[in-house]
Structure 1
Amino acid sequence: MLNMTRYQWTVLFAAWLGWGFDIFDSLLFNYVAPNCVPTLLGLTIGSPEAKQATLYWTGILTSVLLLGWAAGGILFGWVCDRIGRTRTLLLTMLMYALGTAACAFADNIWMLLAFRIVASLGIGGEWAAGASMVAEVVPEDKRVEAGALLYTAAPFGLFLATFVNFQVAGNWMAASPETSWRYVFLFGLLPAAIAFLVRLFLKEPERWTQARENTRPPRIAELFGPSVRRYTLSGFLMALVALITWWSCNAFIPVVSAGLAQSEAALRGLDKAGTLALVESWKLTATAAFNFGGLVGTLLTIPAAKLLGRRAMFAIYFAASAAAIFAVFGLDLPGETRLYMYFAIGLSVFGVFGSFTYYLPELFPTRLRGTGAGFCYNAGRVFAAAGPFLVGIIAARGVDAAVGVLFWVGVVPLAALLMMPWVIETKGQRLAD
C-alpha cells in the first residue's frame, strides 16, 4: 500500500468515511430501541410489555431498513454509473444523515418508520459508489488490500455507534432514558459535514469518465444478459448468504445482551439504576467483541483472497460462520461468556464482508460496475429482511427464545457451501474496462 499516491489515499479515506458513517447511521436504532420503542408506544421502559414490543418492532424496523437499503442500493448503483461516483457519494451521504437525524423528532412509531425509510435509501446507495470509486482509482495490484481496508470502516461505524450510545444513554443522560435516544439520533448528522469535504477534494475516476464518453448508458436488465448473467449470480449468491446471516445475528445483539443483563441484574438484586448501567455495559461488551472480531476477520480476507482465491475464501468464512453461530447459541454458556463469544461470530460472519468491496467490482466492466455491484450487494437484502422479522417475532417471547432461534441461523452459511460451484474466481484478473 505504500506505493499509492496521495490522491489515491484521499479517495480511499473519503470512501472509508462514507461507508463507516453509513454503518453508524444504520445501526443507531438498534442501540436505542429498548428506550425508543416503549417511549413512542407509551409503555414503561423495562416492563415485560416493553421488552416484547421492543423485540417485535426491532424485527419490523430492521426488515424495513433492509428493504429500503435494497431499493436504494440498486437505484443509486445505477445512478452512479450515469452521473458519477463522487456525485452519488455526496447525495447518498446527505440523504442518510438527514433521515437519521430526523428520527430524533419522531412523535410516534410511524414517523420513526418513515424517517428510517428515507435514511435507508441513502444508506443502501452509498456502498456501490464508494466501492466502485476505490476499485477504479487504486493500482491493480493493490485492489484487494484497498477493498479490505475500505471495509474496516464498518467496524469503525459499529464502534462509533456503540460509543455514542454508551456516552449519551449510559453516562450523560442515563437518568433520562425517555429522551436520551433522541440525542443519539441527532449524532446521525455527522456524515453531512463529511459529505461536503468529499465534494471539495474528489473528482470522477478516469475509467468512468472514459466509459461514459465511449459507451451507452447502463441498464439494469443488462445484468441478466447471456454474457453477464453468471457473474451477477455469483456475486448475488455470496452477498445473499452473508447478508441473511449478518443481519439476523447483528440486529439483535443489543436486545439479546440487554436481556441477559436484566436476568443477571435480577440475580444480583440490583436496583433500576444498577440494572440500566449493567444493560448498557453488557451491550458495549457484546458489540465490542463482535466489532473487534469483524475487524480482524476483514483484514484476514486479504491473505485468504490473494493466496487461496475468492472461492476458497468464501467457503472457509461460511464454514467458520456456521461453527461460530452453533457454538455461541447452542452451548450452555453463562450470560457474560456468551457476550465475549460474539468475537467468533464477528470474525466470520462480519469478516467475510471485507471481500465484497473488491470482489463485486471485479465481476463487472466499468460502465456496469456500480449497477452490478450495487445490485448484487443489495438485492439480497430483500430476502435478508425476512431474517430479522422472523427472529424478532420469535424472540418477542423472551431472551431464551431469541438465543434458541439464533442457533438455527447457522444453517444459512452452512447451506452456502453447496453454492461454491457457481462462484466465479477472479484471482489474478485485471479490472475489466
Structure 2
Amino acid sequence: MGNPKSVASGQWLVLVAAFLGWMFDGLEMGIFPLVARPALQDMMHGAGGGDEFVARWMGRITALFLVGAACGGLSFGWLGDRLGRVRAMMLSVLTYSLFTGLCYFAQTPWHLGALRFVAAFGMGGEWSLGVALVMEAWPEEKRPMLAGVIGAAANVGFALIAVAGLFFKVTQTSWRWVMLAGAAPAALALVIQLFVPESERWKASVKQSVARPVKEIFSARLLKNTLLAIAFASIALIGTWGSVQWLPLWADQLTGGTMSEAKANTQILSGVGAVVGCLLGGAFGGGISRRPAYFGLCLVSLVLCAFLFRAVDRYGALFLVMVFLVGGTTAAFYGWFPLYLPELFPTRVRATGQGVSYNSGRILAAVGALTQGKLVSFYGGSYAKAGAVITLVYLFGLVLIWFAPETKGKPLPE
C-alpha cells in the first residue's frame, strides 16, 4: 500500500468488507423476528400457549442473543487489539454464520436460544472490529459519511431478510431452511482473510507499546469515557430492542395472524427507515456536533415512539408510516456511534473500548428485552403498552449526553 492508487484500493477493500460483514450481521439479526412465531409454535408441538408464550420465549432468546453479542464484543474487541483487526473480523463472521445455520437442528426453545447466543458472540465482535478498521483506514474528513454508511449496513441486511419474507412464507415447517441459509456469509470470512489489508495505525501502535486494552479502558484516564459510552449505547439499544424488534410481532397481533405479509411489510419499512436513519445519523453528528446530535435523536425517538405506541391501535397506513419513522429515528444512533465512539479511545485500545462500550450496552438491553417480555405478559399480551413504557429510556439520554466530551473537529486519538 505504498502508492496512492494502492492506498485507495486498500481503503475500498476495508470499507466493502466491513460493510458486508455488518450487513450480513443485520441479516442474521433480522432472521429471528421473522421466524420466531412459527419456530416457537413448532417447538410447542401444538401444545398451545398463544401470544404470551411466544412473547416470553422471544424475550428470553432475545436476551440470550444480546448477552452473547456483548460477550463477543468484549472478546473479539480484545482479540482485535492483540492479533489485528482483520484476523479477528474473519473469525467473528465465521462464528455468526455457522451457528446461525446450526439453528436448523434446534429441537427446543432452549436449543434455539443457545445457538443464537453463540451466533451473537460473532455478531458482537464484527461491529467493533469493522468500525475500528474503517475509521483507521480513511481520512478524518470522510468519517461522518462513513459512520452513516457502516451504521446503515446492518439495516440493509435487516431489510433484505424482510423482503425475502415476502416471497418465502415462513411457516412451522419452513423456518428451519431460513436459518440454514444464514450460514451462507461464511464465505465472506475467507475473502476477508485473503484480501483485506490490516490497519496501518494498529501495526504502528503495536510496535510502540504492549497494550493491556481492558485494563487501560478502565484506567482513571479513560474510565469516564468508557462509562458514558456504555450508557449511550445502552439507551439506544434498549430503545431498539424494546420496541422496533417487537414491531413485526405486534403487526401480526393487530391483524390476528390473518395477513401473512403484515410482518414482512413492517420489517421492511422499519429496515428501510433504519437505513435512512443511519445515513442521516452520521451526517447529523458530523454537522451539528456530537452532543447536540445525540440529544436530538433521543428527543425525536421519545416523541415518535410515544405516538406510535399510545395513539396507533390498528394495522394500516398510519401504522406503517410510523413504523418507518420510528425505525429511522431509533436507528440513527447507529450512524452516530461509529463516528463518536472511536473518538473516545486511543488506537491501541480502540477496538476493545468500542466493543466493551457498545456490547455492555447490549447486556443492559438484554435486561430490557426480558423486561419487555414480562411487560407484554403484565399488560395481557399488549405489545403497545409495553413499548410505551420501555421507550421512556430515551429520557436518560437527554441528560447524560451533556456530561460527555465534545469531539467534533478533533483527530482520532493515537
| TM-score, normalised with respect to structure 2 | 0.94
Does 2:350 match 1:356?
Answer: no
1:166-198 residue CA offsets vs partner (Å, 9 max, x unmatched): 33225xxxxxx2221001101111210111111
Does 2:193 match 1:199?
Answer: yes
Q: Tell me the equivalent position of 1:111.
A: 111
Letter matched to residue 77 of structure 1: G
Q: Tell me the equivalent position of 1:88.
A: 88
Describe how 1:209-288 pairs up with structure 2 within 5 A: 209-262=203-256, 275=258, 278=259, 280-288=260-268
Q: Tell me the equivalent position of 1:144.
A: 144
Supply the distance in 1 between the matched residues of 2:192 and 2:401 (Cα, whole angstroms): 38
SS of residue paired to 2:332: helix
Supply the distance in 1 between the matched residues of 2:261 and 2:173 (Cα, whole angstroms): 19
Supply the distance in 2 between the matched residues of 1:338 and 1:397 (Cα, whole angstroms): 23
Q: Tell me the equivalent position of 2:9.
A: 6
Percent identity, aligned pairs only, is 33
Letter matched to residue 109 of structure 1: P
Letter matched to residue 215 of structure 2: A
Which is worse superposed, 339-348 or 243-252?
339-348
Letter matched to residue 95 of structure 2: M
Contact 2:155 2:275 in 1 (8 A): yes
Which is worse superposed, 213-222 or 93-102?
213-222
Which is worse superposed, 308-317 or 383-392?
383-392
Q: CA deviation at 1:398?
A: 7.4
SS of residue paired to 1:385: helix
1:1-25 residue CA offsets vs partner (Å, 9 max, x unmatched): xx98232122111100001111211
Letter matched to residue 20 of structure 1: M
Contact 2:10 2:197 in 1 (8 A): no
Describe how 1:31-430 pairs up with structure 2 within 5 A: 31-43=34-46, 49-169=49-169, 177-262=171-256, 275=258, 278=259, 280-336=260-316, 337-396=318-377, 401-430=382-411
Q: CA deviation at 1:340?
A: 2.8
Contact 1:321 1:348 in 2 (8 A): yes
SS of residue paired to 1:107: coil
Supply the distance in 1 between the matched residues of 2:398 and 2:196 (Cα, whole angstroms): 40
Supply the distance in 1 between the matched residues of 2:339 and 2:282 (Cα, whole angstroms): 10
Supply the distance in 2 between the matched residues of 1:383 and 1:420 (Cα, whole angstroms): 18
Q: CA deviation at 1:405?
A: 1.3
Supply the distance in 1 between the matched residues of 2:369 and 2:336 (Cα, whole angstroms): 23
Contact 1:62 1:251 in 2 (8 A): no
Supply the distance in 2 between the matched residues of 1:399 and 1:254 (Cα, whole angstroms): 18
Contact 1:233 1:422 in 2 (8 A): no
Supply the distance in 2 between the matched residues of 1:90 and 1:361 (Cα, whole angstroms): 21
Supply the distance in 2 between the matched residues of 1:117 and 1:297 (Cα, whole angstroms): 27
Contact 2:312 2:319 in 1 (8 A): no
Contact 2:152 2:334 in 1 (8 A): no
Supply the distance in 2 between the matched residues of 1:292 and 1:143 (Cα, whole angstroms): 22
| TM-score, normalised with respect to structure 1 | 0.90
Supply the distance in 2 between the matched residues of 1:339 and 1:306 (Cα, whole angstroms): 30
Q: CA deviation at 1:397?
A: 6.3
SS of residue paired to 2:408: coil
Contact 1:104 1:182 in 2 (8 A): yes
- Count of aligned pairs: 408
Change (3 A) 1:345 1:399: farther
Supply the distance in 2 between the matched residues of 1:118 and 1:147 (Cα, whole angstroms): 27
Letter matched to residue 168 of structure 1: F
Contact 1:234 1:424 in 2 (8 A): no
Letter matched to residue 422 of structure 1: F
Q: Tell me the equivalent position of 1:28.
A: 31
Supply the distance in 2 between the matched residues of 1:420 and 1:114 (Cα, whole angstroms): 35
Q: CA deviation at 1:332?
A: 4.3
Change (3 A) 1:141 1:414: same
Contact 1:254 1:283 in 2 (8 A): yes
Q: For structure 1, which runs of at least 5 residues remain unmatched after alignment? A: 171-176, 266-274
Letter matched to residue 75 of structure 2: L
Q: Tell me the equivalent position of 1:270.
A: none
1:279-316 residue CA offsets vs partner (Å, 9 max, x unmatched): x3111221122122212211222432222100000000
Supply the distance in 1 between the matched residues of 2:340 and 2:213 (Cα, whole angstroms): 21
Contact 2:233 2:357 in 1 (8 A): yes
Q: CA deviation at 1:27?
A: 2.6
1:363-400 residue CA offsets vs partner (Å, 9 max, x unmatched): 11110000101011111111111111121123246786
